[in-house]
Amino acid sequence: MELKINAKLNINSTYKLANGVEIPVIGFGTWQTPDGDVAEAAVLDALKAGYRHIDTAAIYKNEEGVGRGIAKSKIAREELFITTKIWNGMHTYEDAAGALAESLEKLGLDYVDLYLIHWPNPLSARENWQKRNQEIWRYMEDALEAGLVRSIGISNFHDHHITSLLETAKVVPHVNQIQLSPSEMQPEVVAANDKYGILSQAYSPLGTGTILEVPELVQIAQKHGKTTAQVAIRWSLQKGYNPLPKSVTTSRIIENIDVFDFELTEEEIKTIEGLSGCGKVASNPDDREF
């Protein structure tokens, strides 16, 4: 994984995944965005603002609204990067095939650019999560070869989950989407991703809003004439992560992608990295009751 553009980051910058597929350095998240008109309008606003990567998931239950927003934008499909994810109740090769087909139908697409295993150790497969992940991955590799997806990855996986998957995988995951923000840096998971050449994709890059009043971030934001949200997103970009900020408010959607006209200093990044734990932190995927 590498930056395609090594000069100053801009709205068109991309990362090149291990298989050569290019992914925009910033994406638009839709977690907790209601389906229907809300999701449709948010996606349309995001695409008008310049986002070209839209992230959704089967469990978000908004793929239909997301798909309508994509269609209404009239942007050529090849200019977009669309991600969705398979949820916990899917345990077999056949389950995965059905899940992707359903997501594609709801999105109104022939393919997605990135397909992820959403959770590494669901409660329904807790006694056999290793086999479950390996079976789903086997289908995802076939879907990649068939052109139904352009890249495949994982979400919320820790090192031991990745190691288990790689026992049978032919393709190393291209992306691991994890909770990453100034309040939750997950250094061990990021290190594992780096070890395997996996892009660290950052969901909840604003700590679900819990970090926006942190005094140190406020001070840095004031210095640059920016908001704390923009500082958090810029930090993620300068760390080489792939942030996915979410909003349903047009002004904030625009604000969250307006992060390419300033740069954090090394001292400011060091200050931010001392804030770990200042807001929402990630839960252990092996302990969650779903």
- For the annotated catalytic residues, the residue numbers are 60
Cα–Cα distance measured from residue 187 to residue 193, given in angstroms and rounded to the nearest whole number? 10
E runs forming strands in the chain: 2-3, 14-16, 22-24, 28-29, 53-55, 81-86, 114-117, 152-155, 175-179, 199-203, 242-244
At residue 161, φ and ψ (nearest 5 deg) are -70, -40
- Are 129 and 156 in contact, with CB atoms under 8 Å apart? no
- Between the CA of residue 202 and those of 65, 136, 178, 233, what are the distances in Å? 23, 23, 6, 9
| Biggest CA pair distance of the chain | 54
Name residue, tokens 């056999």: 128
